[in-house]
Chains A and B, each alone.
Chain A
Amino acid sequence: MSSMPDQLLTPKQVADRRADAPHTSMFARMLLRAAVLRRRRAASALLAMIVAAAVATAMMNLYVDVQAKLRTEFRNYGANVVIVAKDGRSLPADALASVESVLGARTLAVPFSYAVARTPGGQSVVVVGTDFNRARQLNHWWKVSHWPDAPNQALIGMRAASVVSANRQPFELTFQGKAIRLAPAGMLQTGAGEDSRIYLDQSEFQNWTGVAPSTIEVAVNGTAAEVEDSVRQLARFLPSADVRPVRQIMEGEANVLNKTRATLYASATLIVLTSALCVLATLIGWVFDRRRDFAIMKALGASERLVNGFFAAEAAALGVVGGILGFFIGIGVAAWIGRVNFHAPVVPRFSVFPYVLVGSIIVALLSAILPITMLGRIQPATILRGE
């Protein structure tokens, strides 16, 4: 064929070189030469392999990571676990500290204490003591015009504002005969019960009313099983309190997450199948293109097994190289999608590498079987005659 050695060697020299060379090298050389000589065909087969592996890697990475990403989005819905003191009492003073020690510092726990105070006009209004810094992190949906930053400032719900301080003047509240004078710092709008309440800093609230926190709202990160585990741990640690998951939040999250996961899974399967088809189509061309090599090998006395093994090794080599390159490209694609869509990088998962590699090799081998069996049925003489 078109590749003749540059200088002709005497049969003795050739025999010497062959004797020196390790026996396996002929097989390896044929593999390598085939790839180098038919660069374009090899490149297109490799490209198909790389794309398939890259897409598969990206999908697997996303499939695992998107759920974690969506879970963090769902934490914007606020607390998914609530700790309430039993029978209207207060929680023990160290409750917040023990919640944090059980769940670790990463979890957000916000204390709330409640009292019903009276306005000078005799209206009842619910006053809540809390930690503003924590509440702000937990309840992203609170629309607040200005968070309190000075002593004796209060955050006033939209509807409460019209009762206690219509023109944003300082106002007075009384609780069991004790009066306090508060300045409105900002307005709070949530559309729910918070709109009728007045929020104070916890220590000021406690100085005034003497009421300690009765509720702790906790945002626990993680899967449903992890959250339930945290609930059990907390219940063991705080026997005097009721620890319960917020079902509204937990079930909504599970619902949306399950559907998204199923859709993602279906799409990933379809895409991986399509990519495998792409590899199949290319490899058929690639093997068909090599039919003359196949015929010559057989004509020179190679056994059926050797020829099939040779093509299989070629396909496997293609699968390995394509799988490795595709894996890294796929990780890049997943990271890009993470950045574009979730504004956070997708952590590369090297644990999927063996699956991608083995999957690539299997797809390549399966794709090669079809054309090889097709060729096996044809006589080498027919191929060599160019028919």
Chain B
Amino acid sequence: MFSRLVYESFRHQTRRKLLAGIAITMGVAVATAMIAVATDIGDKINRELRSYGANLVVTPQEDTLDVEVGGINLKPPSDGAFLNEADLPKIRGTFWHNNIVGFSPMLPVTVKVGNDSKDVTLVGTYFNKALSFGKQDFTTGVRITHPWWKVEGSCRDGRRAPPGRIEDFQGGCGWPSDDSQNILVGERLATKLEKKAGDKLEVSGRELTISGILSTGGAEDDQIVAPLALVQQIIGKPGAVRRVYVSALTKPQDALAVRDPKTMSPEVYDRWYCSPYVESIAYQLQEVIPHSHAEQIRQVAQNEGTVLSRIKGLMLLITFAALFASALAVSAAMATAIYERRVEVGLMKALGAGNLAVSAIFFAEALLLAIVGGIAGFSAGALLARQIGRSIFDSQISVEPVLFPIIIAIAVFVTFAGSAAAIRGAVKFDPVFALRGEG
């Protein structure tokens, strides 16, 4: 009888059930999507913050001072120490290798350029170099760590690339390949030398082809950028690297992050070592690259924590607002659905049903609605989160399966809470009035 009552109520009062069902589905969908976005936003914004460039720099331990003014390197190439290029792939072997977005070695040297033998800084680096460490193959270079660098040059098919961001055209028109003898010339230097993409330029007695004009808004606009191997050949130091810029996803700094690892107890040390703080990643970089000193670039590293925590905090508060609005919508729909059925309650009570039996029917219906609406809403919310992730961040926001039971439990709880007051009102309502139609 009980199950028949519930079943018939769903069969015959489709409209009322539909409203409540839609409300629950939408509420749960919004809640799921918002929770998914809020839990993932930290990671997504962290990746966006990487567009500020590297947050760590690795230099030789026993290096002399950098002597650089206005983008001109005044340090002789024989001076100071170098890192070994062969050690670089080991960066991928650190504990937090998945958090390392990319790295670029830099080898600045001063060279004579052109017929009037001007002193210009030539920087050797990786553009998009394919490397491997163990079984992993990966590419890295300035195109990952310095996303604001723009190159204007001709494509392989001779077409001129429009000025714009490098992502806009897949082939990367103008970027030299890492094993070529081609170079990039900074835009101000190119104006001074009156050179454009495709021209030849004499650098330290070598005739090199300018594959593109580089614009960065920084010191590189007055420099020449070339593949690392080429610069090593020019100065005759194979494998030499002055410094390495590392771009890593990090966790905002807290009290533990700034402690000195030497003074930590073993447990604290493990916790510190296994947290992606910029300090612990720097420490691990020093471990894998011999004779190196890794340092955070404070301009980038210090600020991203603040920005990240602000955005995360904002999303958390907004998620609460979304949960609150969904809960309210579900309660309102349930209350309305039950309120409309007071006549039925009167009839049931007149036929001798107790308060408990009547409430049980309503709660069973609510439970059924909550579960069906919850499942539909969860799937819709997962789709919604995916859509948001794809359209805003160009990457997936996946909903953790762990969320499913939690979301269903919340849906059932909110549905019950929303119905409780209405059910109490309906049960208490005098059947005489209800049957006389004075609802």
A residues engaging B (CB < 8 A)? 1, 44, 48, 51-52, 55, 58-59, 62, 66, 69-70, 73-74, 76-78, 84, 88, 114, 116, 123-126, 139-143, 159-160, 163, 189-193, 195-196, 214-215, 242, 244-252, 255-256, 259-260, 262-264, 266-268, 270-271, 273-275, 277-278, 281-282, 284-285, 288-289, 292, 333, 337, 340-342, 384-387
Task: Determine if A281 and B217 form an interchain contact, defined as CB atoms under 8 angstroms apart.
Answer: no
Q: Which 9 A-B pairs have the closest CB atoms?
A: A386-B437, A247-B217, A285-B336, A252-B52, A278-B329, A281-B333, A281-B332, A141-B298, A196-B65
Task: Determine if B329 and A70 form an interchain contact, defined as CB atoms under 8 angstroms apart.
Answer: no
State A228–B299 Cα separation when bound (angstroms): 22
Q: Does B13 contact A (CB under 8 A)?
A: no
Task: Determine if A285 and B335 form an interchain contact, defined as CB atoms under 8 angstroms apart.
Answer: yes
Task: Determine if A163 and B65 form an interchain contact, defined as CB atoms under 8 angstroms apart.
Answer: yes
State A121–B267 Cα separation when bound (angstroms): 46
Q: How far is the CB of A71 from chain B (nearest CB, A)?
A: 11
State A263–B438 Cα separation when bound (angstroms): 49
State A340–B74 Cα separation when bound (angstroms): 49
Task: Determine if A264 and B318 form an interchain contact, defined as CB atoms under 8 angstroms apart.
Answer: yes
Neighbouring B residues of A44 by C-beta, 8 Å: 332, 335
Q: Does B310 contact A (CB under 8 A)?
A: yes
State A288–B439 Cα separation when bound (angstroms): 10
Q: How far is the CB of B9 from chain A (nearest CB, A)?
A: 17
State A244–B220 Cα separation when bound (angstroms): 13
Task: Determine if B69 and A281 form an interchain contact, defined as CB atoms under 8 angstroms apart.
Answer: no
**Contact flags B59-91 to A (C-beta < 8 A → 1, else 0):** 000011111111000110000000000000000
Task: Determine if A77 and B303 form an interchain contact, defined as CB atoms under 8 angstroms apart.
Answer: yes
Stretch at the interface among B23-31, B126-134, B229-237, B363-371: B23-31
Q: How far is the CB of B322 from chain A (nearest CB, A)?
A: 5
B residues engaging A (CB < 8 A)? 19-20, 22-23, 26-27, 30, 33-34, 37, 41, 44-45, 48-49, 51-53, 56-57, 63-70, 74-75, 146-148, 188, 215-218, 295-303, 306-307, 310-311, 313-315, 317-319, 321-322, 324-326, 328-329, 332-333, 335-336, 339-340, 343, 384, 388, 391-393, 435-439
26 residue pairs of the A-B complex, CB under 8 angstroms, read A59-B318, A62-B318, A74-B307, A78-B299, A116-B74, A124-B75, A163-B65, A191-B57, A214-B70, A246-B217, A247-B215, A248-B146, A248-B216, A248-B217, A252-B148, A262-B391, A267-B34, A267-B322, A273-B26, A274-B26, A274-B322, A275-B329, A285-B339, A288-B339, A289-B439, A386-B437
Task: Determine if A288 and B336 form an interchain contact, defined as CB atoms under 8 angstroms apart.
Answer: yes
A84, A124, A246, A333: the one contacting B67 at CB < 8 Å is A124
Task: Determine if A277 and B26 form an interchain contact, defined as CB atoms under 8 angstroms apart.
Answer: yes
Task: Determine if B19 and A141 form an interchain contact, defined as CB atoms under 8 angstroms apart.
Answer: no
B23, B51, B302: the one contacting A141 at CB < 8 Å is B302
| Known A70-B307, A141-B298, A193-B66: A274·B27 in contact at CB below 8 Å | yes
Task: Determine if A256 and B49 form an interchain contact, defined as CB atoms under 8 angstroms apart.
Answer: yes
State A44–B303 Cα separation when bound (angstroms): 46
Nearest B-chain residue to A2, judged by Cβ: B438
Task: Determine if B297 and A159 form an interchain contact, defined as CB atoms under 8 angstroms apart.
Answer: no
State A142–B296 Cα separation when bound (angstroms): 12
Task: Determine if A274 and B30 form an interchain contact, defined as CB atoms under 8 angstroms apart.
Answer: yes
State A244–B70 Cα separation when bound (angstroms): 14
Nearest B-chain residue to A262, judged by Cβ: B392
Task: Determine if A247 and B301 form an interchain contact, defined as CB atoms under 8 angstroms apart.
Answer: no
Task: Determine if B310 and A341 form an interchain contact, defined as CB atoms under 8 angstroms apart.
Answer: yes
Task: Determine if B298 and A193 form an interchain contact, defined as CB atoms under 8 angstroms apart.
Answer: no
Q: How far is the CB of A318 from chain B (nearest CB, A)?
A: 14
Task: Determine if B332 and A124 form an interchain contact, defined as CB atoms under 8 angstroms apart.
Answer: no
Nearest B-chain residue to A52, judged by Cβ: B325
State A34–B142 Cα separation when bound (angstroms): 70
State A159–B62 Cα separation when bound (angstroms): 10
Task: Determine if A246 and B218 form an interchain contact, defined as CB atoms under 8 angstroms apart.
Answer: yes
Task: Determine if B297 and A192 form an interchain contact, defined as CB atoms under 8 angstroms apart.
Answer: yes
Q: How far is the CB of B380 from chain A (nearest CB, A)?
A: 11
Task: Determine if B317 and A248 form an interchain contact, defined as CB atoms under 8 angstroms apart.
Answer: no
Task: Determine if B339 and A192 form an interchain contact, defined as CB atoms under 8 angstroms apart.
Answer: no
Neighbouring B residues of A215 by C-beta, 8 Å: 70
| Known A126-B67, A263-B37, A275-B329: A251·B299 in contact at CB below 8 Å | no
Q: How far is the CB of B436 from chain A (nearest CB, A)?
A: 6
| Known A163-B65, A267-B322, A341-B313: A77·B392 in contact at CB below 8 Å | no
Neighbouring B residues of A159 by C-beta, 8 Å: 63, 65-66
Neighbouring B residues of A193 by C-beta, 8 Å: 66, 68
Neighbouring B residues of A191 by C-beta, 8 Å: 56-57, 295-299, 301
Neighbouring A residues of B303 by C-beta, 8 Å: 73-74, 76-77, 140-141
Q: How far is the CB of A194 from chain B (nearest CB, A)?
A: 9
B67, B299, B384: the one contacting A196 at CB < 8 Å is B67
Neighbouring A residues of B147 by C-beta, 8 Å: 251
Neighbouring A residues of B57 by C-beta, 8 Å: 191-192
| Known A190-B299, A246-B218, A267-B315: A51·B325 in contact at CB below 8 Å | yes
Neighbouring A residues of B307 by C-beta, 8 Å: 70, 73-74, 256
Task: Determine if B392 and A160 form an interchain contact, defined as CB atoms under 8 angstroms apart.
Answer: no
Task: Determine if B388 and A263 form an interchain contact, defined as CB atoms under 8 angstroms apart.
Answer: yes
State A256–B340 Cα separation when bound (angstroms): 49
Seed contacts A78-B299, A277-B23; 18 additional CB < 8 Å A-B pairs: A48-B328, A73-B307, A74-B307, A116-B69, A124-B65, A163-B64, A192-B57, A252-B52, A252-B53, A255-B48, A256-B311, A268-B318, A274-B26, A275-B325, A275-B328, A277-B26, A282-B336, A342-B310
State A73–B312 Cα separation when bound (angstroms): 14
Q: How far is the CB of B278 from chain A (nearest CB, A)?
A: 10
Nearest A-chain residue to B325, judged by Cβ: A274
| Known A277-B23, A385-B437: A88·B329 in contact at CB below 8 Å | no
State A139–B317 Cα separation when bound (angstroms): 30
State A66–B317 Cα separation when bound (angstroms): 13
Neighbouring B residues of A341 by C-beta, 8 Å: 310, 313-314, 317
State A70–B335 Cα separation when bound (angstroms): 41
Task: Determine if B321 and A58 form an interchain contact, defined as CB atoms under 8 angstroms apart.
Answer: yes
State A337–B317 Cα separation when bound (angstroms): 7
Q: How far is the CB of B335 from chain A (nearest CB, A)?
A: 7
B22, B45, B325, B435: the one contacting A260 at CB < 8 Å is B45
Neighbouring B residues of A74 by C-beta, 8 Å: 303, 307
State A248–B437 Cα separation when bound (angstroms): 72
Task: Determine if B217 and A55 form an interchain contact, defined as CB atoms under 8 angstroms apart.
Answer: no
State A230–B56 Cα separation when bound (angstroms): 32
Nearest A-chain residue to B64, judged by Cβ: A123
| Known A256-B48, A288-B336: A271·B297 in contact at CB below 8 Å | no
Q: How far is the CB of B43 from chain A (nearest CB, A)?
A: 12
Neighbouring A residues of B66 by C-beta, 8 Å: 126, 159, 193, 196
Neighbouring A residues of B435 by C-beta, 8 Å: 386
Max chain A CB contacts within 10 Å: which of B51, B301, B329?
Answer: B329
Task: Determine if A267 and B326 form an interchain contact, defined as CB atoms under 8 angstroms apart.
Answer: no
State A357–B315 Cα separation when bound (angstroms): 26
Q: How far is the CB of B317 from chain A (nearest CB, A)?
A: 5
Neighbouring A residues of B37 by C-beta, 8 Å: 263, 266-267
Task: Determine if B30 and A84 form an interchain contact, defined as CB atoms under 8 angstroms apart.
Answer: no
Nearest B-chain residue to A275, judged by Cβ: B325
State A289–B45 Cα separation when bound (angstroms): 48
Q: How far is the CB of A88 from chain B (nearest CB, A)?
A: 7
Q: How far is the CB of B48 from chain A (nearest CB, A)?
A: 5
